[in-house]
Amino acid sequence: MGIYDEYRGRPSGKSNIDYTNLSSMVLIAGKHDLDPKRLVDAFFEASENEHSHCGSLDISCRKVNQDSATFLVTKGERVIWQFPVSLESLRNPYVRDSITRIPIPENLKKNGVSGKNLGISELKFGMKSVNVSARIVEISPASHVYTWSGSGAFVSNIKLADETGSIMISLWNNQIDMVHVGDKVEIKNCYVAKFANKRQLRLGKNSAMSVIN
């Protein structure tokens, strides 16, 4: 059957430790309004580089054994959690993707970071449901690429800036024709990812972008 029981949505046998790890991460993500999958990515980065960040949380890898690593999660001076995590949970893509099948408790769900637009300097890796208003200062020529499904698409890297800083966002196909350098845009319900160790805005299926000149 694999690591997870497809019918019950949770691991069986010795994979129970994986389910416990991922459930803990879901709770942390829910309490701090983070995307659980981005939080798992941050734990993986900490396992490789000792430290990482996700939203307002700092993650440190304190000790590595053969099969697990102990992580300390802090927010400023406050300790949020310290626990061992199975390295298989972090390294196996199937296990890591399974975190999306673990529901966030209803009392921890939120409707976005704040409901208001955030300055670019406030954006941190792992944030979800982010609203941003900024001006387009640079548009790269569109490149033809092949997606994971094998279909062709055009993508352009767009540089956004406000009075607090700048950030990149990728636009696809018809989205590219919507904008020009100098346009002010408002983006709703996007999330903050990391590419080449830099923050980057990403549009999800429920995101919306509009020109507000």
Whichever domain contains 133, its CATH number is 2.40.50.140
Question: What is d(CA 184, CA 33) in angstroms, rounded to the nearest whole number?
Answer: 27
Residue 124, CA distances (Å) to 36, 170, 183 in order: 14, 17, 24
Do residues 5 and 12 touch, judged by C-beta distance below 8 A? Answer: yes
Residue 35, CA distances (Å) to 67, 77, 114 in order: 25, 22, 15
Q: Looking at the domain assignment, is residue 79 inside a domain?
A: yes
Confidence of residue 77 (pLDDT cuts 50, 70, 90): confident
Same domain, residue pair 130 and 170: yes
Provide the pLDDT for residue 117.
Answer: 83
Question: What is d(CA 187, CA 209) in angstroms, rounded to the nearest whole number?
Answer: 4
Domain limit, last residue, from 62, 86, 108: 108
Confidence of residue 201 (pLDDT cuts 50, 70, 90): very high
Query: Helices 16-31 and 36-49 sit at what angle, rounded to 10 degrees?
Result: 110
Q: Does residue 41 register a pLDDT over 50?
A: yes
Which pLDDT tens digit goes with each residue over 17-34?
Answer: 466 777 888 888 888 888
Domain count, the chain: 2
Question: Residue 120 is which amino acid?
Answer: I
Same domain, residue pair 103 and 10: yes
Q: Looking at the domain assignment, is residue 115 inside a domain?
A: no
Same domain, residue pair 78 and 12: yes
- Give me the mean pLDDT over the 188-213 stretch: 85
Same domain, residue pair 10 and 63: yes
Start-to-end C-alpha separation, the chain: 54
Same domain, residue pair 126 and 171: yes
Provide the pLDDT for residue 161.
Answer: 95
Confidence of residue 98 (pLDDT cuts 50, 70, 90): confident
Do residues 181 and 139 touch, judged by C-beta distance below 8 A? Answer: yes
Task: Tell me the average pLDDT of the chain.
Answer: 80
Provide the pLDDT for residue 78.
Answer: 84
pTM (predicted TM-score): 0.55
Domain limit, last residue, from 108, 143, 168: 108
Q: Looking at the domain assignment, is residue 41 inside a domain?
A: yes
- Give me the mean pLDDT over the 71-83 stretch: 86
Helix (H, G, I), strand (E, B) or coil at 46: helix
Domain limit, last residue, from 79, 108, 137: 108
- Give me the mean pLDDT over the 130-147 stretch: 90
Provide the pLDDT for residue 1.
Answer: 37
Same domain, residue pair 141 and 66: no
Q: Does residue 111 register a pLDDT over 70?
A: no
Our CA angle for 68, 71, 77, nearest 5°, is: 175
Do residues 26 and 104 touch, judged by C-beta distance below 8 A? Answer: yes
Which range of residues forms the domain containing residue 153?
Answer: 120-211
